[in-house]
Amino acid sequence: MAIRHFLTLRDLSSDELNQVIDLAIEMKAAKRENRQEPLFAGKVLGMIFEKSSTRTRVSFEAGMAQLGGDALFLSPNDTQLGRGEPIEDSARVISSMVDIVMIRTFGHSIVERFAKYSKVPVINALTDDYHPCQLLADVQTFVEHRGAIKGKTVAWIGDGNNMCHSWINAAIQFDFKLHIACPEGYEPNAQLVEEAGDRVMITSNPVIAATGADLVTTDVFASMGQESQQQDRLEKFAGYQVNHQLMSHAADNALFMHCLPAHRDEEVSAELLEDKSISVVWDEAENRLHAQKALMVFLLQASR
């Protein structure tokens, strides 16, 4: 059987993604009710981090431990990756010793090259282009609060970045409408937008994007690796803050999500972020744990 990787949401079929979401919801209940099985006993996850992380590291590491497995934190500072050992060589060596690998890095081609030479499933834990694990948690969170996301409308406000690209893939795979509002020059990848067809609408007007949306979501103006553009982006993204005023254009029971970390009063107002009647960001963060456990169960089973 071929090894299954999760480099983008397009690596699983729509049915498989929905299975993972259902399993995540079930595994969350199992954890709450203290009836988790040691599904990862004897399994080791290799975690390669070339960028910072709180949620991703804690959720993968805790998830393995809770189900009887182990996780290795590998940073470029103390592995040969940081001293220039080719990714293809690292992939062959690391995947001969662990059962599954997750990578957070810069260029998306790095995870593709690693996966090509890996003997075990590889998970993209964020690249400059995509953040698919976050979308599993986001869709799970929507389903838990509002039911099926199919046919709903999501508004993305801000940068056409890795999160925005994964929202586009989610719109394709889970079959919902995505309204994207971004400043000129910060639009998402044009080919990806074209692939999404009429599921995706792009505007530079946040009010147009938010109008009637069942979910409004955003992310930092400057992502990891773009720190030097922070000041410039603060000016370019003026008017793209998600706040109660913008939410007033959305559907009556619309939710707010943010992958976190958030910059209060930049891309989201502090009041909205803390408004428990609209903002589900803490559930969304917790669901990284459950969604990724379900993803690892799926990939390990499917690659056997």
Cβ proximity of 273 and 241 under 8 Å: no
Q: Is 73 helix (H, G, I), strand (E, B) or coil?
A: strand
CB-CB neighbours of 224 under 10 Å: 15
Residue 54 interacts, among ligand NVA, ligand CP, none and using kind-specific CB cut-offs from 5 to 8 Å, with ligand CP
- 5, 108, 134, 292: which one is catalytic? 134
Shortest Cβ distance from residue 206 to ligand NVA (Å)? Answer: 18
Q: Name the one range near ligand CP by CB under 6 A: 53-61, 82-90, 91-99, 105-113.
A: 53-61
166 binds ligand NVA (CB under 6 A): no
Residue closest to 45 by CA, chosen among 125, 116, 109: 125
CB-CB neighbours of 291 under 10 Å: 29
Stretch (H or E) spanning 217 = strand 215-218
Known catalytic membership, residue 288: yes
Known catalytic membership, residue 219: yes
Known catalytic membership, residue 165: no
> How many of the chain's residues bind ligand CP (CB under 6 A)?
8
Q: Is 90 helix (H, G, I), strand (E, B) or coil?
A: helix
Interface of this chain with ligand NVA, residues 206 to 225, rule: CB under 6 A: 219-220, 223-224
Binding mask 238-267 for ligand NVA (x = CB under 6 A): ---------------------x--------
Known catalytic membership, residue 131: yes
Shortest Cβ distance from residue 261 to ligand NVA (Å)? Answer: 7
Q: How far is CA 194 from CA 122, 197, 242, in A?
A: 27, 5, 26
Q: Is 61 helix (H, G, I), strand (E, B) or coil?
A: helix
> How many of the chain's residues bind ligand NVA (CB under 6 A)?
10
Half-sphere exposure of 206 (CA within 13 A, CB side): 21
How far is residue 125's CA from residue 39's CA, in Å, rounded to a whole number?
21
Q: Name the one range near ligand NVA by CB under 6 A: 90-98, 107-115, 161-169, 293-301.
A: 161-169
3-state helix, strand, coil in the chain (%, to 5): 45, 15, 40
Q: Which is nearer to ligand CP, 118 or 287 (CB)?
A: 287
**φ, ψ for residue 85 (rounded to 5)?**
-60, 130
136 binds ligand NVA (CB under 6 A): no
Interface of this chain with ligand CP, residues 122 to 161, rule: CB under 6 A: 126, 134
Known catalytic membership, residue 104: yes
Contact residues for ligand NVA, defined by CB under 6 A: 126, 131, 161-163, 219-220, 223-224, 259
Active site amino acids: 104, 131, 134, 219, 259, 288
